[in-house]
Each structure stands twice: as structure tokens, then as C-alpha cells.
A and B are shown apart, each in its own frame.
Chain A
Amino acid sequence: MPDAAVLRAIRNVASGVHAKILARRKPGLRFPLRSLQNVRYRPSIGFFELLGKTKERTLTVGTVKTFAQTLRMMALSKNLVDTDDIATKREAYYVSKNWGDARFDEQPESDAVMEDIEALFRVNREQIGFIPEEKGGEVAGRLVVVDRDRDTGKPLRIDCTKFGSGAYSIPISVEDLRFETDAKFILAIETAGMFQRLVKHNYWKQANCILVSMGGVPTRACRRFVRRLADTHKLPVYVFVDCDPYGIANIYRTLKVGSGNAAHVNEFFCVPQARFLGITPQDIIDYKLPTHPLKDVDVKRAADAVKNDPFIQHHPAWRKAFEQLVKMGVRAEQQALAKHGLNYVIDEYLPRKLAHTEAFLP
């Protein structure tokens, strides 16, 4: 959505509220419900699609504070777009300290209101001037990212093979990046530790791939980066995470089909071509991995995923995998492979897995 359209949308919502007020009637704001209950998994398009469920915030005594904060936040966003400026979520929280009684006491409150507005306009928060705090993720491997010089505007070629033991940082906005690569696939890795090992031993050279460190649940920028890279060069994406409900249902699932909370923007922030390399529950048996017992929270998360996650529900293979995991009652981390030798993962595990990509979980 171009800036002008965003501004128009903000004005429209504001004047709707204003008209209701002048008519001495309770104004209301209607937001799409941001939760897994309001998404559907459509394999044909490959991501969580927003359903029609909405929540209405009508102005009453109970909602008056949040209502005022929402309008304040909308005004701030309008200013940011008007002046082509940005504010981080944290900065927006500090700006609210000028709002007297309407200020936010804690940042999660301001984040929630921001996400409400984002959903209200069905835009990405960067489009309304708000940017996240978190790092986008790191990249190493056979890839040249073409960016633009901030001052001159000239193209800037960044060779991701030339970071040595370091890595390229995915920027907040990846929309204008271009890519040059002859890699055969992208390997998205959960932990920085595993990423470090693979970089250290130049695994990308050996496997002719691009390594991406997600650092937990991938940020929007990270997801968008992987998506654009995979789309433009028709690269398969393999995901390598811990074998526990969090690694599968949160990290992998969010990368592949998006989240319930940001369902209104999943279309852009998903990687439908992602496939699950490991570690699978079966790997624990096949590779005789050392394990830890599942924590209560893991069991709960697994049950919740099977029951409420439209993506897991859609795939019998995933349901079976979860059943197997819960039955075994254990989990295993990526680094558990070190039991067989520090470079077992490079020499044995990954090559053996990659020899049968058709066997990857969906």
C-alpha cells in the first residue's frame, strides 16, 4: 500500500469515528481478530489466511483509555508517514509518555495497540511508520545482496561469502533488495550456535547453499527475506530446528505459513516452500540422540498445536509426528548431534538428510 493510500485509510477511519461522535453516538473501531481462531490454512496459497472474525471496540467507560490511546497512536502514525520518518516500537512507547493520562505504562500495551492499528488498516507496521526492535537474522553463503548506498543511492553489492567468521545482517526492510546467487537451497537454522558451527566449517561451500540464522521465531524481516530470495531464485528452503513443540509449531510453522497474531500480513511474511529437515521425532530414534524429558509446557503446547493449529491439523504427517513425540515424552536439541562428534552434523547428519529431501515433513 503506498503512503498516500495509508494516509487516506487513517483519515477515513478517523472521520468515521468523528462523525459518530458529532452525531452523539458511540463510535466504534472494528479490528480483525488476531488469533489462530481467525485463520485458515489454505495449502493452495500456502499460508494462514485471515477469516472474517472481528472484534469491535466501542467507546464506553471501560474502553475509553484504550480508545484514546488508539486514536493517539493513529495520529502518531499519520505524522510518521507524513514526514517519512520511522519510530521503533520502543520509541513509540516513549512518545506516549507525552500523552498524560493516556500514556502507556508498559511497552506490551503500546505494542498491542500498534498491532491493532496495523490489523485495522491491513498493512505491515513498517508501512505506518513503526519498525521492530529485533534483529532480522543472519545470512552466510553463496549469495550477493544488492542494496542501495544510503547517501548516493547507487547499488551496493554485498557478498555474503566475504564475512569470514561473521555474517550478513538482514535489514528491517528487505522489499527493495535484489539477489544474485547460484546456490541450490536455503538452510534456515534455529540456533545461532549451530549456524556458527556451519559457518566456521564453510558448510555453505560444501553444500552449495545459503545459511540463514533465525534466532528463535523468525522476525518478519527474516521471513520476508527468505521468501523473496526463494521466490526470485526458485530455491527450496529447508528448516533445521530443535525437536520440540516450540521448534516445530512456533518456529517452523511461523516461517512457513505465518502467525495468528499477524494474520493480516501473513501473505507477505510466509515461506510456503519451506520443508522440515529436522530434527524429527524419528531422528531421535534413528540417530540415537540424547534427550530431555518434555516439560509440562511442551506437552501443553503439543496438545494445543494438534487441537488448534490449522496447519498441523491439515497435515496427517505432522499430527503423527506430534503423537510420536508426546508418546516418547522427550525432546532433542540440534546440538545433541554433538554426542557423535562435533562435526557429525556436517559430515553425517545433513548429507544423509539432504539425500532424501522428498522425505522431509511438509
Chain B
Amino acid sequence: MRRAAPAEATGAGGMEPLQVPALGPVESAAPRPSASSVVSDPRPPTPVAAPRRRASAETLAARQRDISVAEFFTKNRHLLGFDNPAKALLTTVKEAVDNALDACEEAGILPDLEVTIRQLNGDDRFVVVVRDNGPGIVKAQIPRIFGKLLYGSKFHTLRQARGQQGIGISAAGMYGQLTTGRPMTIVSRTGPGKPAFRLAVRVDTQRNQPEILSDEQVDVPWDHGTQIEIELVAQYRRGVRSVDEYLEQVGIANPHATIVFRPPEGNGQETRLERVSQELPPEPKEMKPHPYGVELGMLLKMLQATRSRAIRAALAQDFSRVSDRLADEICALAGVKPETRTGKLAPEEVEAIHRTMSKVKIMAPPTSCVVPVGEELLRRSLERRFRADFFTSATRPPAVYRGNPFVVEVGLAYGGDIPAEEPVDLMRFANRVPLQYQKGACAVTEAVTDVAWRNYGVTQPRGSLPIAPMVLAVHVASAWVPFTSESKEAVAHYPEILRELKLALQECGRRLSQFLNARRRDVDAGKKRAYIEKFIPHMAGALREILGYSEAKERETVECLAYVLERSRAEGLGAVAEEIADA
């Protein structure tokens, strides 16, 4: 693997350096580690020697310094989803698509996305181009958005969004830069009357600062939007966890988006996933943090940043669902004077407030910050994607874990072309983003496994996913989806979330079982009808033998017999239905 920018340990400190004391001294101890040292363990086995003082606090201090975020990334890129070339391609597309959809929605535009992947000379060189019809980006902001990690608008707000940390797209750009040496190219236009600009941007990995390599005005055939282009070492494949599959799933969770995909193979052939809804989902409202979900560190930070002078006002103003009276109550219970200046609070007092906050009774947070796909749209999305016999969906009412509102919804497709002898095709979504990896570690998988599918007429080996011609689309939407790791691949196992997941799955399961029962009854009825029809000619024939009537009369007899028996069969069914109702 070729590296354009050798990773260096001596970051001069960017604007938002990450302190990583655990890593710092150890990694920095190696003199100017090379790129390869990222992959393999740089330290040879240390021979056991007599205890000897090797470094003093002072000498260690001389080596301790900030680590650039960018450099941290190069060493820990698996945390962000760039473990291998195939996954890197998928992650790059995913980050670009997430950003594009978020941008369109925030601007109130129905998203039209074009995703193009081109293969360059050589096996492993690809270019990913993602263009949206969003509002475009002001030229001055482009370098910082794409050329700097941890720069974004969403980290500090609490509302449902795809991206959160401001790492994704810059990390993708940086991966491309690290593997091919090529910068990221961004073309953006903010409106019909405005010029479009093309910028080539790269990340200064030492300083976590953007570096503009070129900047020109260009003509584009579109009115507004942004197009990003990243060249990277990657691997393109089809099937499970492919870009194709990922985009299909994006389409399911985003029924208001149209996505065009041009894969590297297939000579200009494109897949077009047409939107099924002409309406944008309602905009998620921003939410102040709810006291139940706030950790001590977060509380400290909030108290530093607050505009309110007194602790009482800070609590009432900066938190969700805290009234003046409740703020007084929290202060009283914590033994803190409500008038105390926020800046003058002793650490013990902040701790007391934090303890108290989680104990007092506070109304659940507002749920307007969470917008699910919706039962009907989720079902229609599945109907567009799969040829199945039965579709259903269930959206749960909002619920709360640790002060964070969330909504769980489940879509289910059954039968038709879906393979019957395989475990259920489980699609997981968090805030409309498909989750591709770490299926086994995900709360969604656990919930699906825990539901007793046999009750609904579906085969399920003990402790496994059900085996059925079935697709499940499970969506967890929240102002803050708890993931098990930074790469956002699996939802964490909060009991409240598991509970809602199971309830939604069970609701769909019950409807599936109704469908399966009805279908079984139809089959039985069909068998009965066939059974009856076998004997009708014998009755008509025997009567004709005895009575000697004409052939026409025999036909009439057959017809009447069929009528009489069909009615008898229907009555029989009615009787059975009544019996069930009685029970």
C-alpha cells in the first residue's frame, strides 16, 4: 500500500487536538515510527532485565505531546470503518450519501442522488463520485467541512441526524489521500444565479487543517448541489455488504429519495431507485439535553458554556423538561443554593446536582426530535424492493432511554421470491442509515433472535434468527442512537430499546401469523373443494343410472351438486370461524 503522507508522531497541535494519554507516551516513545509500524507491532519483545530506571518524569514529559486527530485516524482507521479495501469503498459511499441526504433534508429539498464508481488503471484504484441536489456549500466553508476532522454542525445539537461527529466524510477523504496521494475534489453550487466552484482539498494530517490545492470556477449542468470525488484504494464486489445492497437499503429507509447508481462494471449501466414518496419527512426538532441522559462530564461542560448566571437558571434554560420549580427542587435536594453562580460551583456540588438530576421525577423528553420513516412508507419501500406475498410494518410510539427519545419501527416482507431455506434477511437501520457490519453485536439482532417466531408460524432454530422467506427492516431512530463503537455499526443493548424492538417485531409477527393462517385456510378450502369435486360426477352418474335421465339433465345435476356442496363447505368454514371466535 502506497502512502503519500507518512504518518508522524510529532503533531504540532491542531485546533481541536485529541488528548490520548494512553496512546501518546507509548507510541511516541518509538523514534519517528514509519507507516508500517501502524500495522505491525513496532516494539520487539523486550528482554527481561534487572529493574533499572530508564526514564524520569522529566524525560517522559519532554516526549509527551498532542497527537493530531488525523494521525490518530491513520493508526486507528478500523474504528471508522476503513479496515479493508472493500469496506473502505462502502464506508466512503456511505459517508458521502449520509452527508448528501442530511444536506438536502435540512434545506427542504427532495434528495436526488447520483453515485458513480469508476475503476481506474490497476486492480485496486477507484474513484467514488457522489452528487446531490442539495443547497450547495458556501465556498469558504468547503475546505473546513471536507479537509478537517471533527468539524461539523451536528455534534452539539440533539436531534435525529445521520452524521453526528463530523468525522465521516473528511475521514473518507483522508483515507483516499493516504492510499492514493490524491486530494478530494468538491464541486458545489448554491443556486441557479451563482457560480459553481471546484476545489481540490487535502488534509494536513499533522495539523488537522485543510489545504487547498486548486480552486477554480466551473460550469455545471445543475442548479444547486454538491459533488464530491474521492480517489481511493478499494475493492468493488457485489452481494452482501456491497455498495449495491447498501444503496438499496438506503432507498428503503429513505422513501423520499431517488438514487441513481452507476457501478464500475456494466459500461454505463445504471440502477435507478425511484422515490416512493413525494414528501420530505418532517424536520426533526432540536432538543435540549434531558437530565436523565446527561453524564457528569457533559454537565460540567454545559455549566461552563451556559449563558445563565445562576445554577437554577442554567438548569431551567439549558435542559429539556426542567421548569423553574423543578430546578429549585433539584438544587434543594442537592443541597446547593439556587442562586449560586455556575462558575462558582464546587466540584462536589456539581456532582450532587448530577446525582439528584437522575433521581427526581422529570417528564419524558419531547419526541418531536425523532422522525421515523412511518408505517405506510416503510411498507411501500419494501413493496418496491421485494416481490413478496405479504408486507406489513409497525412503528412504535416514541420511548426514552437515558433521557434520549427514540422510535423503533419494523417492516416485514414474506414469501414470494425471497429465499425460503435461509435465515431471515435482516436489514438494520439507525436514523435511516443502513448498518452493514457487526450484525451479531447489535441489539436489533438480539431482539429478532429473542422473539418467539414459532408462535407466528415461522421456523426458528433455538437461539437463532428465524428461517423463513422473510425480510425484516428494523429502524431505530433517535436524537442520539447509542452505538457499540465509533464506526456506528451496531446498536447498543439498552433494555428500553430491546423492549421496543421486541414489541414492534411481535406486532409484525402477529400480523404475519394472521396472514399465514388465512393462507393455510385458503389452501385447506382448496383441498376440500378438490375433494368434493372428485365425487360429484359419481353421484350424478349413479342417479342417472337409476333414473335414466338425459345427459343435459346430468350436467344440470352436476352443477346443482357443486352449488350445494360449495355452500356446505362455506358453512363448515363459518362454523369453524365461530368456534375460534368463541374460544
A182 to chain B, nearest CB (A): 49
A64 and B531 contact, CB distance less than 8 A:
yes
A205 CB-CB contact with B under 8 Å:
no
- Over the window 65-105 of chain A, the binary record of Cβ atoms lying under 8 Å from chain B Cβ atoms (1 yes, 0 no) is 10111011011001100000000000000000001111000
B458 CB-CB contact with A under 8 Å:
no
- Chain A residue with the shortest CB-CB distance to B548: A11
- Over the window 522-545 of chain B, the binary record of Cβ atoms lying under 8 Å from chain A Cβ atoms (1 yes, 0 no) is 000000100110111011011101
Question: With a CB–CB cut-off of 8 A, which chain B residues contact A99?
Answer: 538
Bound CA–CA A79/B548 (angstroms)? 12
A65 and B572 contact, CB distance less than 8 A:
no
- Over the window 12-23 of chain A, the binary record of Cβ atoms lying under 8 Å from chain B Cβ atoms (1 yes, 0 no) is 001101100110
B564 CB-CB contact with A under 8 Å:
yes
- Given contacts A21-B560, A71-B538, whether A60 and B568 have CB atoms under 8 Å apart is yes
Question: With a CB–CB cut-off of 8 A, which chain A residues contact B543?
Answer: 14, 17-18, 21, 71, 75
A10 and B568 contact, CB distance less than 8 A:
no
Question: With a CB–CB cut-off of 8 A, which chain A residues contact B531?
Answer: 61, 64
A100 and B538 contact, CB distance less than 8 A:
yes
B569 CB-CB contact with A under 8 Å:
yes
In B542-582, which residues have CB < 8 Å from any A CB?
542-543, 545-547, 549, 556-557, 560-561, 563-565, 568-569, 572
In A143-179, which residues have CB < 8 Å from any B CB?
none
Q: B536, B556, B557, B561 — which one has the most chain A CB atoms within 10 A of its CB?
A: B561
B538 and A22 contact, CB distance less than 8 A:
no
In A297-324, which residues have CB < 8 Å from any B CB?
none
- Chain B residue with the shortest CB-CB distance to A22: B560
A201 CB-CB contact with B under 8 Å:
no
The interface size of chain A toward B, counting residues with CB under 8 Å, comes to 31
A324 to chain B, nearest CB (A): 51
Bound CA–CA A24/B561 (angstroms)? 7
- Chain A residue with the shortest CB-CB distance to B561: A21
In A1-46, which residues have CB < 8 Å from any B CB?
10-11, 14-15, 17-18, 21-22, 24-27
A78 is contacted by which of B534, B546, B565 (Cβ under 8 Å)? B546
Bound CA–CA A330/B546 (angstroms)? 54
A75 and B535 contact, CB distance less than 8 A:
no
Q: B546, B560, B569, B572 — which one has the most chain A CB atoms within 10 A of its CB?
A: B546
User: What interface size band does chain B fall in?
Assistant: 20 to 34
Bound CA–CA A68/B560 (angstroms)? 15
Bound CA–CA A71/B546 (angstroms)? 9
Question: With a CB–CB cut-off of 8 A, which chain B residues contact A71?
Answer: 538-539, 542-543, 546
A51 CB-CB contact with B under 8 Å:
no
- Chain B residue with the shortest CB-CB distance to A102: B538
Bound CA–CA A72/B569 (angstroms)? 23
A59 CB-CB contact with B under 8 Å:
yes
- Given contacts A22-B557, A68-B539, A100-B538, whether A75 and B564 have CB atoms under 8 Å apart is no
B241 to chain A, nearest CB (A): 52
A59 and B568 contact, CB distance less than 8 A:
yes
Bound CA–CA A59/B538 (angstroms)? 13
B546 and A75 contact, CB distance less than 8 A:
yes
A25 and B547 contact, CB distance less than 8 A:
no
Bound CA–CA A65/B539 (angstroms)? 9
A11 and B546 contact, CB distance less than 8 A:
yes
Bound CA–CA A20/B254 (angstroms)? 62
- Chain A residue with the shortest CB-CB distance to B535: A68
Question: With a CB–CB cut-off of 8 A, which chain B residues contact A62?
Answer: 572
B542 is contacted by which of A59, A74, A100 (Cβ under 8 Å)? A74
B543 to chain A, nearest CB (A): 5
Question: With a CB–CB cut-off of 8 A, which chain B residues contact A10?
Answer: 546
Question: With a CB–CB cut-off of 8 A, which chain B residues contact A67?
Answer: 535, 539
B538 and A101 contact, CB distance less than 8 A:
yes
- Given contacts A18-B557, A59-B564, whether A68 and B538 have CB atoms under 8 Å apart is yes
Bound CA–CA A73/B323 (angstroms)? 90
B564 is contacted by which of A26, A65, A72, A79 (Cβ under 8 Å)? A26
Q: B538, B561, B563 — which one has the most chain A CB atoms within 10 A of its CB?
A: B538
B568 and A11 contact, CB distance less than 8 A:
no
A61 to chain B, nearest CB (A): 5
Question: With a CB–CB cut-off of 8 A, which chain B residues contact A101?
Answer: 534-535, 538
A64 and B563 contact, CB distance less than 8 A:
no
Q: B535, B536, B560, B561 — which one has the most chain A CB atoms within 10 A of its CB?
A: B535
Bound CA–CA A26/B572 (angstroms)? 14
B547 and A15 contact, CB distance less than 8 A:
yes
B547 and A21 contact, CB distance less than 8 A:
no
Question: With a CB–CB cut-off of 8 A, which chain A residues contact B532?
Answer: 61, 64
Q: A18, A22, A69 — which one has the most chain B CB atoms within 10 A of its CB?
A: A18
- Given contacts A22-B560, A61-B569, A64-B531, whether A75 and B539 have CB atoms under 8 Å apart is no
B538 and A72 contact, CB distance less than 8 A:
yes
A61 and B568 contact, CB distance less than 8 A:
yes
B547 is contacted by which of A14, A72, A100 (Cβ under 8 Å)? A14
A21 and B557 contact, CB distance less than 8 A:
yes
B560 is contacted by which of A24, A65, A69 (Cβ under 8 Å)? A24
- Chain A residue with the shortest CB-CB distance to B549: A18
Bound CA–CA A71/B545 (angstroms)? 10
Question: With a CB–CB cut-off of 8 A, which chain A residues contact B549?
Answer: 18
B564 to chain A, nearest CB (A): 6
- Given contacts A18-B557, A59-B568, A61-B528, whether A102 and B546 have CB atoms under 8 Å apart is no
B546 and A74 contact, CB distance less than 8 A:
yes
A61 is contacted by which of B538, B545, B565 (Cβ under 8 Å)? B565
- Chain A residue with the shortest CB-CB distance to B558: A21
Question: With a CB–CB cut-off of 8 A, which chain A residues contact B534?
Answer: 100-102
A26 is contacted by which of B535, B539, B568 (Cβ under 8 Å)? B568
In B451-502, which residues have CB < 8 Å from any A CB?
none
A22 is contacted by which of B546, B556, B569 (Cβ under 8 Å)? B556
Bound CA–CA A79/B564 (angstroms)? 28
Bound CA–CA A22/B562 (angstroms)? 11
B535 to chain A, nearest CB (A): 4
Question: With a CB–CB cut-off of 8 A, which chain B residues contact A15?
Answer: 547
- Over the window 323-341 of chain B, the binary record of Cβ atoms lying under 8 Å from chain A Cβ atoms (1 yes, 0 no) is 0000000000000000000
Question: With a CB–CB cut-off of 8 A, which chain B residues contact A18?
Answer: 543, 547, 549, 557
Question: With a CB–CB cut-off of 8 A, which chain A residues contact B568?
Answer: 26, 59-61
Bound CA–CA A15/B547 (angstroms)? 7
B529 to chain A, nearest CB (A): 9
In B155-208, which residues have CB < 8 Å from any A CB?
none
- Chain B residue with the shortest CB-CB distance to A103: B538
A24 and B539 contact, CB distance less than 8 A:
no
B564 and A102 contact, CB distance less than 8 A:
no
- Chain B residue with the shortest CB-CB distance to A101: B534
Question: With a CB–CB cut-off of 8 A, which chain B residues contact A21?
Answer: 543, 557, 560-561, 564
A75 and B561 contact, CB distance less than 8 A:
no
- Chain A residue with the shortest CB-CB distance to B544: A75
In A180-224, which residues have CB < 8 Å from any B CB?
none
A64 and B565 contact, CB distance less than 8 A:
yes
B545 and A102 contact, CB distance less than 8 A:
no
Bound CA–CA A307/B549 (angstroms)? 50
- Given contacts A61-B531, A102-B538, whether A75 and B545 have CB atoms under 8 Å apart is yes
Q: A11, A27, A61, A74 — which one has the most chain B CB atoms within 10 A of its CB?
A: A61
Question: With a CB–CB cut-off of 8 A, which chain A residues contact B539?
Answer: 64, 67-68, 71
A24 and B564 contact, CB distance less than 8 A:
yes
Q: What would 12 A/B residue contacts be, using CB atoms closer than 8 Å?
A: A11-B546, A21-B560, A25-B564, A27-B564, A61-B528, A64-B535, A72-B541, A74-B546, A75-B543, A78-B546, A99-B538, A102-B534
Q: Which 4 A-B pairs have the closest CB atoms?
A: A71-B542, A75-B545, A68-B535, A68-B538
Contact surface of A with B, Cβ cutoff 8 Å = 10-11, 14-15, 17-18, 21-22, 24-27, 59-62, 64-65, 67-69, 71-72, 74-75, 78-79, 99-102
Known interface pairs A15-B547, A22-B556, A22-B560; 20 further A-B residue pairs with C-beta atoms within 8 A, sorted by A's residue number: A14-B547, A18-B547, A21-B543, A21-B561, A25-B564, A26-B568, A62-B572, A64-B539, A64-B565, A67-B539, A68-B539, A69-B538, A71-B539, A71-B546, A72-B542, A75-B545, A100-B534, A102-B534, A102-B535, A102-B538
